Structure 1
Amino acid sequence: MPVFAVIAVLALLIVVHELGHFMAARLQNIHVNRFSIGFGPILWKYQGPETEYALRAFPLGGFVGFPDDDPESSNIPENDPNLLRNRPVLDRAIVISAGVIANLIFAYLVLLVQFGGFGVPDGINYQPGVLVPQVVSQESAAAVAGIKSGDIILAIDGKELGASEQAIPALKEAIESHPNQPLKLKIQRDTETFSVRVTPAPSADGTGRIGVQLAPSGTAKYRPAKSIAEVFSLAANRFEAIFVGTVQGFYQLITNFGDTVGQIAGPVKIVEQGAKVAQSDSANLFLFAAIISINLAVINSLPLPALDGGQLAFLLLEAFRGKPLPTHIQDGVMQTGLMLLLGLGIFLIIRDTTQLEVIQRLFQ
């Protein structure tokens, strides 16, 4: 089932990220005493010669633990050169940044597999209408009218959109040219067809907007790659496009938080959207994995407490000061950041779960 495939992909991305930290440490002979997927109570564990491997109750990430401040590892002398804290700044920076690097490398490899295994995209077998892959926010005109992610818009004001590449431009032109004017949309949802009225809201330039993303309705066509060089080139181009788009998306979130905060998705929403993508085309599961892996890399690069970027920021301060910040300051900032991160994760899980169609039906 697509849902389980998407969950497996997310779990794999967490393992890849933490494995990056783990391998960067072990290859430098740095002591590692814990490798955990998830947080909280231990569900399963295996004690290796030096490292404890564990699965924990809350699957909101993972961590690699070091014995530097672990009371259970008191048999290791404090001046041991293979403790992480006793290594030069560069060695520690390599360990901290290795998770991000692993996710980026993994994303590129996934794209190589997609283009090499499934072939090169070669157009679309168009079906009638325009697909709505995402409704931007619950306050948008589309959401108010009852449009949901996965719906297909078949017609607007009685004009059929048809099965061609002209369907999206025709729909956009009709919406943009009718700000504050109600439009009748014919919607297909699964096997059901019905009509809704939506009133486009005027944007800053005066054109109408209903707050949805649009995509062609149909299935992708593929052709075999002409050469291995084409596979590597296409994978690199797609990787660059996803990476640049992801960075731009986070920039917009920071600079225009009020209008974009509704687009933040938690694990439940990611699984829901990924399942829909994979259901339409199994090859899209690879693209989904690459997109999420790059997003995970960019998020962890942000200079925020409890993220890899936050730890790198502390190392940068240490390099400038010539000595690290006091341990109690670093621990306080990191623990506060971790609690906020877990709190945000739980909030997003609850919010996205309550917005699932199956849950909403229970309260209708």
Structure 2
Amino acid sequence: MSVLAVISVIAILIFVHELGHFLAARLQGIHVNRFSIGFGPILWKYQGSRTEYALRALPLGGFVGFPMEEDSDNSFSPDDPNLLQNRPVMDRAIVMSAGVIANLLFAYLVFVVQFTSVGVPQDFVPEPGVLIPQVMSSTSPAATAGIKAGDIILSVDNQLLNQGEANVQTLIDAIQSSPNKPVDLQIQRGKQELNLTVTPDVSPEGKPLIGVQLYPNGRFSYQRSSNPVEVLKFAAEEFQNVFVRTAQGFFALVTNFSEMSSQVSSPVGIVDQGRTMADNNLISLFPFTALISVNLAIINILPLPALDGGQLAFLLVEALMGKPLPRRIQESVMQTGLLLFLGLGGILIARDISRLEIFQNVFQ
């Protein structure tokens, strides 16, 4: 059920993104002839009075289609002012950026719904164990040992980790006292308990590390608020924290790609991480949804081919030059970018599938 919940979350976020483009066009009177969730063969479609709505076989994104002059089924005059390509740069920029804006607004609304329905976080209630919110690298000792983000370490070398922040230091001490020596861990992953062995590597600074973040395990108690202003305030603060951390993560990826690239996940990896979080605490689907929505927004605003940011970059060049780049150049850049993204996506999907527990168990 948790897998289906996470897949549904991703599908909703794709829908929200494309709906942003669709509404931005429609509200300006711009013609839209296709609204599609997914790519590839059509599984279901509905032909409306002005737009074809479709679900496609590959749920890796979506698109909003606009009639073009060269389309064989285009029934509009080439100089129709409501064709997208005939609109001023600013109108087109609004359409291209609307998906990003929709995902950011949706992330904020997710926190509003969470704090309205579940309540505003109050006191932190500690629970046994130490939480691993992030595995820093796919080549780290932790990843090699099979440790995943969302795991809870219950014991180290048969020493139970009880409640409180002191257990984080206990675990750190056990790791740092075992350079290049195996450390036995008891792990809770959802409803499972696993016994894993990790061997700390010694960093250039001489510290034994396993390559994870460590947080005290526990949960917040929640109290429903009757003050809507308080809910909006908490939601804004939480949204700001998520946005800043995500933007910092992307900056670190761009400036230190060789070290951070292993943390990039495919949809398969995202679903697996979300499943682990949902198994531990279903409420975590709220921040997970907001986090993925913000990630989707930031990814799409990057000035790269095949992304919204790439289209905005073309519009910026057009605004500066006073005329658009030749269609042939734009199409060549976008097609090349699309092929590169599909190739990278295929590699990431294959890598993340190989990391799934079911495959690791088969090949152990």
- Normalising by the residue count of structure 1, what TM-score does the alignment of the two structures yield? 0.93
Does the aligned pair in 2 maintain the 1:179–1:200 contact within 8 Å? Answer: no
Paired residue for 2:22? 22
Q: 2:185 matched to 1:186? A: yes
Question: 1:348 Cα deviation (Å)?
Answer: 1.6
Separation in 1, partners of 2:84, 2:192:
58
CA gap 1:320/1:145 in 2 versus in 1, 3 angstroms:
same
The secondary structure found in structure 2 opposite 1:283 is: helix
Q: Letter of the aligned partner of 2:140 in structure 1?
A: S
Compared with structure 1, are the counterparts of its residues 346 and 191 closer, same or farther at alpha carbon in structure 2 (3 Å cutoff)? closer
- Which residue of 2 is the match for residue 201 of structure 1? 202
Following the alignment from structure 1 to structure 2, what is the Cα–Cα distance between the partners of residues 191 and 15?
Answer: 33
CA distance in 1, matches of 2:145, 2:266: 24
CA contact (8 A) 1:36 1:62 kept: yes
1:127-138 superposed matches below 5 A: 127-138=127-138
Residue aligning to 1:102? 102
More divergent stretch after superposition (86-95 vs 275-284): 275-284
Contact 1:133 1:213 (C-alpha < 8 Å) held by counterparts: yes
Asked if structure 2 preserves the Cα contact closer than 8 Å seen for 1:154 and 1:185, the reply is no
**Counterpart check, 1:280 vs 2:280:** yes
* Pair 73,146 (structure 1): closer, same or farther in 2 beyond 3 Å: closer
Structure 2 CA distance for partners of 1:72 and 1:41, relative to 1, 3 Å? same
**d(CA) in 2 for partners of 1:93, 1:7:** 30
Secondary structure of 1:72 counterpart = coil
Does the Cα contact within 8 Å between 1:31 and 1:82 map onto a contact in 2?
A: yes
Task: Provide closer, same or farther for how the CA distance between residues 56 and 70 of structure 1 changes in structure 2, counting only shifts above 3 A.
Answer: farther
Given that residues 156 and 186 in structure 2 are in contact (C-alpha distance below 8 angstroms), is that contact kept between their aligned partners in structure 1? no
CA–CA distance in 1 between the matches of 2:232 and 2:174? 40
Distance 1:115 1:192, change over 3 A: closer
Alpha-carbon distance, 1:276 to partner = 1.4
Q: Show the counterpart of 2:8.
A: 8
After the TM superposition, list the runs of 4 or more consecutive aligned residues in structure 1 that deviate by more than 6 angstroms: none
Is 152-161 or 132-141 further displaced after alignment? 152-161
1:281 to partner: Cα distance: 1.9
CA contact (8 A) 1:219 1:281 kept: no
Residues 158-208 of structure 1: per-residue CA shift (max 9 Å, x gap): 543311232224323554x44835363331345545362522431x54433
1:263 maps to 2:263? yes
Measured in 1, the distance between the counterparts of 2:192 and 2:48 equals: 53
3-state secondary structure, aligned to 2:225: coil
Deviations 1:61-119 (A, max 9, x none): 00000002452333211000001011000000000000000000000011100111101
Q: CA offset at residue 273 of structure 1? A: 0.7
Task: Answer with 54-63 or 149-158: which moved more.
Answer: 149-158
Query: Structure 1, residues 254-296: CA drift from partner, whole Å, max 9, x if none?
Result: 1111111110001011011111112222221111110000000
SS in 2 for 1:240: helix
| Identity value in percent | 56
* Total equivalences in the alignment: 362
- The answer for the alignment partner of 2:160 in structure 1 is 160
Instruction: Give the residue type in structure 2 aligned to 1:333.
Output: V
Gaps of 5+ in 2: none
| Correspondence 1:234-249 to 2 at 5 A | 234-249=234-249
In 2, Cα distance between the equivalents of 1:326 and 1:307?
Answer: 19
Matches of 1:288 and 1:259 in 2, distance apart? 24
Which residue does 2:210 correspond to in 1? 210
Report if aligned partners of 2:112, 2:235 keep a CA contact under 8 Å in 1.
Answer: yes
Superposition map of 1:1-364 within 5 A: 1-157=1-157, 159-175=159-175, 177-178=176-177, 180-182=179-181, 184-189=183-188, 190-192=191-193, 194=195, 196-202=197-203, 205-225=205-225, 227-364=227-364
